[in-house]
Amino acid sequence: MDNTQQAEAGLDKSLFKRDGFPPLGSLIPTSLQHVLASFAGVITPAMMIASTCGFTAEQETAIIQVALILSAIDTLLQQFPLFGRIGSGLPILTGASFAFLPALQAVGVEFGFSVILGAEMVGGIVAIVFSLFYDKIRWIFPPLVTGTVIFTIGVSLYPTAIKYIAGGVGTENFGSAMNWIVGLITFAVTFGLTNFTKGITKIGSIFFAIIIGCVVSIPFGMIDPSGIGEAAWFSLPTFMPFELKFDPAVCITIAIIYVMVNIQLIGDLSAATAGSMDRMPKGREVSGGIMAQGLVSILASLFGGVPTSAFGQNVGIIVSTKVINRWVFGGAAIVFMAAGLCPKLSALLLMIPQPVIGGATISVFGTITLNGIRILVKDGLTPRTCTIFGVSVAFGLGIAQVSGSLTGAGMPGWINTIFGTSAITPCAIMAIVLNLLMPPEPVEEEKRLHVSDSDAEGEE
């Protein structure tokens, strides 16, 4: 959205700049839509780890509380880097990550939560070391690699949105007509506000759609306010609620996953920056973003939480709206912090039905995919580019969609943990390896696949 469009829409220009404090009338809805789009994603990994480790209700509340507070800290560091070094300074929203969930669940079942926390501390240290050396290895992540990873991130998010619209996997009414009606109405409102309105209703379309979706879901009995009355007004997290235990095999496995998640973070930062600021992130910015997540992971191990990463659905919002003001994300972080310290607020946000969240966010996932394509085609598509892209995406999505494909006889369990739980990891590894192995094409022999017919005729 250029300056003319902003003026015509009556929007404050500071929304589309990193600095400056926007009017509250614009700041509140643009911040809250990030919260509403990601809140379920922040607390769900914590809830699933609590279930896996057999936590009491009190312990489950505590891990959810820490997940919210750490999400706030990470997001604040990304917007306001500490010492100018810890944090990316880029438009991104971070929170408790699903990327670690399968591995952490496996560790929790066999070894318990204390071993998870020990591995998180080691993983955080590995992430910090990775960030310190990023400038020396950033040549491994050219636009071809990051574009391929960004494309895969977008595509891999589609099933997540559908699962939300259908009601959430494992719920009693999963896939019911009721869930789809609410989800599709919410989607229709989001689509209509985004494409047929101007001003704050356009850039805050997800926030307003979620509000309307919640109202629509009331007659279906999908809103249960009972949890608000039972929740406490104020609660502080406990330092070292569990003993830290270090198992060498677990620490190595989790450390490898941290590196893979850091590669995903590079892709998310690239997607958000390229889509909203029309540039790729600088080496120092990426390094700072990774370092912040390493620090937050160490805090998670000390307070009994789960590690964080960027949220793909929020990247989609950033790319769609072009709203990059740091206070918009800072406002979202403040809400997360308040929800972590005030369980009543957390319970209020928990009332939002999953079909509403899915219907409001599915439309933004496509923007991530298209942004990956935009990065890929920026310098033209060559046979080499198409080969690396096609093979990498095939391996990534193929492995992720075929459950158990890496769990057969003679296959170590850690292989499936690292490569079989997310399309992003095998895609990223394959793209990096192929890009290093395949010889570059001579410029004079490159045949750009996007050349127009008229250009082709002229060459003849």
Residue ranges per structural domain of the chain: 3-374
CB 41, CB 357: distance < 8 Å = no
Q: Which residue carries 């689509």 as its tokens?
A: 191
Question: Per-residue pLDDT for 455 more than 70?
Answer: no
pLDDT tens-digit readout, 11-63: 678 888 888 888 988 888 889 888 877 776 787 778 768 777 888 877 878 88
CB 268, CB 315: distance < 8 Å = yes
Q: What average pLDDT does the segment 269-273 reach? A: 87
Q: What is the pLDDT of residue 423?
A: 78
Q: What is the pLDDT of residue 131?
A: 93
Crossing angle of helices 101-111 and 24-52, rounded to 10°: 30
Torsion of CA 430, 433, 436, 438, to 10 degrees: -60
Question: Per-residue pLDDT for 416 more than 80?
Answer: no
Question: Per-residue pLDDT for 5 more than 60?
Answer: no
Most confident range, picked from 113-127, 162-176, 261-275: 113-127
pLDDT bracket for residue 444 (50, 70, 90): very low
Residues in CB range of 388: below 8 A, 6 or more apart = 144, 148, 431, 434, 435, 438
Instruction: Give me the sign of the Cα torsion angle 194, 200, 203, 204.
Output: negative
Q: Which residues of 252-288 are buried (b: 16+ CB within 10 A; e: fewer)?
A: ebbbbbbbbbbbbbbbbbbbbbbbbbeebbeebbbbb
**Which H/E stretch holds residue 295?**
helix 283-303
Q: Minimum mean pLDDT among 128-132, 276-280, 377-381, 438-442: which range?
A: 377-381
Q: What is the pLDDT of residue 6?
A: 52
Q: Minimum mean pLDDT among 110-124, 145-159, 238-252: which range?
A: 145-159
Q: What is the pLDDT of residue 50?
A: 79
Question: Per-residue pLDDT for 457 more than 90?
Answer: no
Q: What is the pLDDT of residue 8?
A: 40
Question: Per-residue pLDDT for 121 more than 70?
Answer: yes
Residues in CB range of 59: below 8 A, 6 or more apart = 50, 241
Q: What is the pLDDT of residue 417?
A: 66
pLDDT bracket for residue 263 (50, 70, 90): confident
> Mean pLDDT of all residues in the chain?
82
